[in-house]
Amino acid sequence: MKSSVLVFLLCISSALAYVEVAMKCPDGWDWFKRSRGGWCMKVFSGPVTQGDGETKCKAEGAVLAGVQNGDEVKWMGESLVKVAGGGSLWIGAKRSIPCIPIRGLTALCTPLTSFYWTDASTTGFLGFKKWLAGEPNNYGGNQGCVQLFSASGLMDDAACNIYSTGYVCGKSSTFVFLLCVVSALADCPAAWKTILNAQREESTSNGCEADWKFFKRPSGGWCMKVFPGYYEAQADAEKACKTVDATLSGLQNKNEGIYIQSAILAQVPQTSGSLWTGLQRTKKCMGQKLTATCNNLTSFEWTDNATTGTEGFLFQDAQPDNKNLDQNCALFLASKAASIVARGTYFAGTYEDVNCVTGFNSENIARKTFGYVCGKKASSLWNGGKRSKACIPIRGLTDVCTSLTTFYWTDASTTGCLGFKKWMVGEPNNAGQDCIQLFKNTGLMDDLGYFKK
C-alpha cells in the first residue's frame, strides 16, 4: 500500500508520543473510506495504454487504483465523463499468474479469481462482480489488464498495450502527526504534554508499560514497541524481543503500520529503512512462487499468536514472489517519502518477502534494516464469564443482549449482575468474542475470543 505522507513535528529525547491530527487528500482528489484506511483517487484523461497509466500515476505519487465497491464504480464513470467525455479507463488489476495461459472462464479462473488488485488497498472480490457478458475471457491469450466502461459501469479484460480514454490513480490519504520524543515533559509544548500523558495513561491503564503502545485487537489487548537497531537475521531480532519479555509483533491493520513508521522514523537519522516483524512463510508455501494456493493472503502467517486475519498482509505489488525459492521472511518498509528507489521502486508501509538472513549493498541501502517491532499481551486476567447461547450470534449491544445479560457466570458461585457493570466503552460488542478479560489497572472488562498458543 502506498504509505500516507508523514508530517513530523519533533521534540527529541527518549519516549515517543504521536497523534493523528488530520487526514486529507490533495486538491482535486476525492477521499474514500476503505477497510485498509483512507484512500484518495483521481481520474485523468488519456488516451493511454495501461503501462502509460501506471507511469503517470507514479508521477503523482500514486498507483492505478482498484475498485472496492459499486459507489467507486459510479464515481469513476462520472469522473471520466467530466474529464474526457466518457469511454473506458484503466484500473489497477492484473491477471493472476495461474490464469495467464487460460482462455475463457473455468472452474479455476472465474470472474472473481482471474484477476487480482495491484494497488495494495482494494480488498475482497466485490469489485470483480460486474463484467461484460462472458468476460473476462482472455481472448487471444494476451488480455492481462482491465478496463472499466463509464456508460455501463462494467469491466472487460484487455491487452495492456491498447489505448483507453483515461485512467484512475489512487494513493493513501495524508496523515499529519504531532510527535513528541521526550525525557522530561518540560521539553515539549503544553499541548504535547497532554498528548503524551494521555497516551501513557492509555497504555498503563490497559496493561502496557508506559513506553509501550496499547492496541485493542480481536485477540485481546496488545502492547507494541518499535526498537531501532540493525539485525541481519530475523532470528536475532526475535532474540532481542525476548530480552524484554516480548516477541516479534505481527501487523493487525494499517493503523498499526502507521504507528510503526512514525515511531521508527522519529528515532533514527535515516529517512527510510526496513523492520523485522513477526511474519514467516507457511510450511505449505515453502519453495512455492505465487500461485492460486500460495498468494499474497495465504503464503505467510503471523508468528506472535496474537495477530489475526489478513488485513496486515500489506505486500508490494506482485509480492510475495519467493524469487529464489528461499524468501521465507518479510521486511516492512518505513519511509518519510511515499516511495523509494533502491534497485526498483518500493512503497512505504508495505512488505516484501526476503531471505530470513539479509544483506544490503550501496544500491539498496535505502531498504536496509534499521529496526524491529516487539509485542506482548497486555496484562489482564481471564474471568469465569461465558456468552449466553441466545447472544452468541448477536453483534453489538441490543435490547436483549445488554451489558448485563450478554454473559453468565460459570463458577456456580458468583450471583447477580453487579459484576457485569464495568465494561470498556462500547463493550461487550461480540466480534466472535465469547469470553471475558479483566484489565487489572482499570478494573474494566472486555469480551474477547480465546486464542490458543
**15 within some domain:** no
- Percent of the residues in the chain that have a pLDDT greater than 70, as a whole number: 83
**17 within some domain:** no
Between these two residues, 171 and 437, which has the higher pLDDT value?
Answer: 171
Residue-level pLDDT at 380 = 55
Averaged pLDDT of the chain: 83
| Residue 233 and residue 264 in one domain | yes
pLDDT of residue 81 exceeding 90, the answer is yes
Q: Which residues contact 240 (CB under 8 A, 6 or more apart)?
A: 227, 229, 231, 372, 374
Three-state SS for the chain is: CCCCCEECCCCCCCEEEEEEEEEECCCCCEEEEECCEEEEEEEEEEEECHHHHHHHHHHCCCEECCCCCHHHHHHHHHHHHHHHCCCEEEEEEEECHHHCCCCCCCCCCCCCCCEEECCCCCCCCHHHCCECCCCCCCHHHCCCEEEEECCCCCEEEECCCCCEEEEEEEEECEEEEEEEEECCHHHCCHHHHHHHHHHHHHHHHCCCCCCCEEEEECCEEEEEEEEECCCCEHHHHHHHHHCCCCEECCCCCHHHHHHHHHHHHCCCCCCEEEEEEEEEECHHHCCCCCCCCCCCCCCEEECCCCCCCCCCCCECCCCCCCCCCCCCEEEEEEECCCEEECCCEEECCCEEEECCECCCCHHHHHHCEEEEEEEEECCEEEEEEEECHHHCCCCCCCCCCCCCCCEEECCCCCCCCHHHCCECCCCCCCCCCCEEEEECCCCCEEEECCCCC
Q: How confident is the model at residue 200 (pLDDT cuts 50, 70, 90)?
A: low
**114 within some domain:** yes
Q: How confident is the model at residue 202 (pLDDT cuts 50, 70, 90)?
A: low
- Percent of the residues in the chain that have a pLDDT greater than 90, as a whole number: 46
**146 within some domain:** yes
| Residue 126 and residue 244 in one domain | no
| Residue 251 and residue 342 in one domain | yes
pLDDT of residue 274 exceeding 80, the answer is yes
Q: How confident is the model at residue 329 (pLDDT cuts 50, 70, 90)?
A: very high
Q: How confident is the model at residue 177 (pLDDT cuts 50, 70, 90)?
A: very low
Residue-level pLDDT at 405 = 86
Burial class (CB in 10 A: 0-12, 13-18, 19+), 64: buried
Residue-level pLDDT at 342 = 85
Between these two residues, 240 and 434, which has the higher pLDDT value?
Answer: 240
**395 within some domain:** yes
Which pTM was predicted? 0.53
Residue-level pLDDT at 378 = 85
List residues bridging with 148 in a β-sheet: 89, 155
Residue-level pLDDT at 447 = 80
Before 111, cis peptide (omega within 30)? no
Q: Are 162 and 178 in contact (CB under 8 A)?
A: no
| Residue 417 and residue 369 in one domain | no
**183 within some domain:** no
Q: What are the φ/ψ torsions at residue 81 (nearest 5 degrees)?
A: -60, -40
Residue-level pLDDT at 181 = 43
Sign of dihedral through CA atoms 68, 70, 71, 75?
positive
Q: Are 207 and 441 in contact (CB under 8 A)?
A: yes
Residue-level pLDDT at 134 = 92
End position of a domain, from candidates 312, 342, 377: 377
| Residue 295 and residue 316 in one domain | yes
pLDDT of residue 355 exceeding 50, the answer is yes
| Residue 373 and residue 423 in one domain | no
Q: pLDDT digits over 2-34, tens only? A: 333 444 444 433 344 444 444 568 889 998 888
Residue-level pLDDT at 74 = 94
**10 within some domain:** no
Which is it for strands 380-387 and 30-34: parallel, antiparallel or unpaired? unpaired
Length of the chain: 453
Q: pLDDT digits over 93-150, tens only? A: 999 888 899 899 898 889 988 999 988 888 888 889 999 999 999 998 999 999 999 9
Residue-level pLDDT at 294 = 93
Domain coverage including residue 443? 385-452
Q: How confident is the model at residue 263 (pLDDT cuts 50, 70, 90)?
A: confident
Distance CA 240, CA 224 (A): 14
| Residue 307 and residue 362 in one domain | yes
Average pLDDT over residues 309-321: 91
Residue-level pLDDT at 179 = 46
Q: How confident is the model at residue 435 (pLDDT cuts 50, 70, 90)?
A: confident
Residue-level pLDDT at 4 = 37
Q: How many domains, in total, are found in the chain? A: 3
End position of a domain, from candidates 345, 377, 409: 377
- Tell me which of 293-302, 318-327, 373-382 is least confident: 373-382
Radius of gyration for the chain, computed over Cα atoms and rounded to the nearest angstrom: 24
Q: What are the φ/ψ torsions at residue 327 (nearest 5 degrees)?
A: -95, 85
Average pLDDT over residues 168-184: 60
Q: pLDDT digits over 378-400, tens only? A: 875 556 678 888 888 888 888 88
Q: Look up the CATH number of the domain holding residue 102.
A: 3.10.100.10
Residue-level pLDDT at 204 = 57
**249 within some domain:** yes
